[in-house]
Structure 1
Amino acid sequence: MGVGGSKAESIQADPVDPAPIHVVTEELPPYNMTRNGVVTGMSTEVVQAVLKEVNVQASIQSMPWARAYDLALHSPNVLIYSITRTGERERLFKWVGTIAESRWYLYSSARHPVSLLSLDDARDWQTATVNEDVGEQYLMARQFQTGHQLQSSNRYEFNYQKLQTGHVDLWISDELNAYYIARQAGDDPARTLVQSLRVPELEDAGGFSMAFSAGTPDATVQRFKKGLDAIRANGTYDAIARKWQ
């Protein structure tokens, strides 16, 4: 269904919440990343389009994921992206909706490929993770331990470097992110990365989302849901997705 003027006007005509919205994200290229001092990326453009649709002014701040996640857990009026909607996180946030698809794998290096038949096979290897991201949370919920099977860092680029230099055996990552980082390093991901095991449970969550902190008014959340629905209906979302994929 197309978006008529009345719907767009109704979104913008809602009373503006007096509390400013704090938008936080991390460096997860090409979804969200800082280039020449400006936060950009596919998910960022979607968030910016929603902000414009609902007529809300808000700056976007990029920081390590663990810090962004902590802010969204404990402060009101915080919008966080790109966040995976899992069962463990369901009640911790107020969810706006999916802003990007994702496919998750445990990767190994083509120099030292690792064959995995199941997740249990990964327990015998060292896996690179990002502190408090969904890949790390997923593995820790299945009794993988940091400092034992998991090596945690605060940047995805570090994990690709660890994998290629042999400091870890595996790396859990979203596919688009992994391939982008490999190309940024001057590598061909088809030649340097091996998809050792797909992690469909992380894909069942529906991809990357926007979510508000639990202390955010429901009216604000509903307003952003309408804004996301609107940019999906009027073609803005599809235009952004085509640009980045």
Structure 2
Amino acid sequence: MSLFVGLFMASTGFTQASNDSAAGITYLAEVYRPFIYEQEGEPAGLAVTLLKLIWQEMDVPEQPIEIMPWPRIYDSGQWDRQVAIFSVYRTRERENHFKWVGPIARGRQALFCLRSRNLKLRSIEDMTGLKIASLRDTASTSKVLQTGIVPTCATHARHAVELLRSGRVDAIALDEARFRHTIAAMGLSARDFETALILSEDSLYYAFSPDVDDALIARFQRALDTVTARQAYRTLLNSYNN
């Protein structure tokens, strides 16, 4: 089946009832371009499209996807029953909190600063004494906390950029894709910013709550492996990276 025919089948009609255990999962995501966003009131993006293809491979009817703020999602994924959240960086700190299906794609956590500050950081030790802003419960925040620095908590990525531009912080710790899309949405020039330090490179996954059955996790993983082995997936990945 072609990618475009498959996407049409996945995006048309109403959500169907199913006795499949995959239909008993609550699927949660936040706006996080290019992986998740809303288009005409509906979830869209690379991770959403990939999940629909996984459901097709598993012969599971398309399920609802709820979009909500990241702190609520992260708490739900750890404590609520039968939840899948995405897209989530699979880090050492998070490893035992979830069951994982992936990878979806690779990404980077980094410190960003104003180019005019000319910060020259060669290692995390050089972060000592800096005022840093980040977002609650993100992989970037975990990396900053590991250095002993308690970051200023921004309410969202745009707020973090505003803190940086106002001079209230020296740098912001964010996912690279989130940072690039945020400054573009704010109408800011990328030339006014620079990457001060790469904190880590990790893969993004679908993260399932610990109570989800291992057999279901294995089914999801087999379906994802089948989908991502096809040329259609590479075409899809390139379309979101361009």
| Length-normalised TM-score, structure 1 | 0.84
CA spacing shift, 1:18–1:151, aligned 2, 3 Å: closer
CA spacing shift, 1:113–1:30, aligned 2, 3 Å: farther
CA spacing shift, 1:193–1:44, aligned 2, 3 Å: farther
Match of residue 71 from structure 1: 76
CA distance in 2, matches of 1:153, 1:20: 34
Match of residue 41 from structure 2: 37
One-letter code aligned to 1:90: E
Match of residue 160 from structure 1: 161
| Length-normalised TM-score, structure 2 | 0.85
One-letter code aligned to 2:75: D
CA distance in 2, matches of 1:61, 1:51: 16
CA spacing shift, 1:44–1:164, aligned 2, 3 Å: farther
CA distance in 2, matches of 1:84, 1:121: 24
Relative contact order, CA 8 A, sep 6+: which one is greater? 1
Match of residue 181 from structure 2: 180
How many pairs were matched up? 222
CA distance in 2, matches of 1:187, 1:92: 37
Does the 8 Å CA contact 2:89/2:139 hold for their aligned counterparts?
yes
Match of residue 226 from structure 2: 230
How far residue 136 of structure 1 moved from its aligned partner, in angstroms, is 0.6
- Point out where structure 2 has 5 or more consecutive residues left out of the alignment: 1-18
Q: Which runs of 4+ in 1 moved over 3 A?
A: none
How far residue 111 of structure 1 moved from its aligned partner, in angstroms, is 3.4
Query: What secondary structure, in the 3-state scheme, does the structure 2 residue paired with 1:46 have?
Result: helix
CA spacing shift, 1:44–1:163, aligned 2, 3 Å: farther
Farther off after superposition, 84-93 or 37-46: 37-46
CA distance in 2, matches of 1:55, 1:168: 49
How far residue 184 of structure 1 moved from its aligned partner, in angstroms, is 1.4
One-letter code aligned to 1:172: A
CA spacing shift, 1:198–1:72, aligned 2, 3 Å: same
Q: Does 1:98 align with 2:94?
A: no
Query: What secondary structure, in the 3-state scheme, does the structure 2 residue paired with 1:197 have?
Result: strand
CA distance in 1, matches of 2:118, 2:133: 15
One-letter code aligned to 1:32: I
Query: What secondary structure, in the 3-state scheme, does the structure 2 residue paired with 1:124 have?
Result: coil
CA distance in 2, matches of 1:35, 1:125: 38
CA spacing shift, 1:129–1:90, aligned 2, 3 Å: same
Query: What secondary structure, in the 3-state scheme, does the structure 2 residue paired with 1:102 have?
Result: strand
Match of residue 46 from structure 1: 50
CA distance in 1, matches of 2:63, 2:120: 46
Does the 8 Å CA contact 2:22/2:216 hold for their aligned counterparts?
no
Q: Deviations over 1:215-241 (max 9, x none)?
A: 111121111101111111222321221
Does the 8 Å CA contact 1:20/1:58 hold for their aligned counterparts?
no
Q: Deviations over 1:26-67 (max 9, x none)?
A: 222222223442222222222222223223332111222111
Q: Deviations over 1:149-183 (max 9, x none)?
A: x1112322221222222222111122222112111
CA distance in 2, matches of 1:71, 1:221: 18
Farther off after superposition, 133-142 or 45-54: 45-54
Match of residue 12 from structure 2: none
CA-atom RMSD in angstroms: 1.8
- Point out where structure 1 has 5 or more consecutive residues left out of the alignment: 1-14
CA distance in 2, matches of 1:152, 1:65: 13
CA distance in 2, matches of 1:41, 1:112: 34
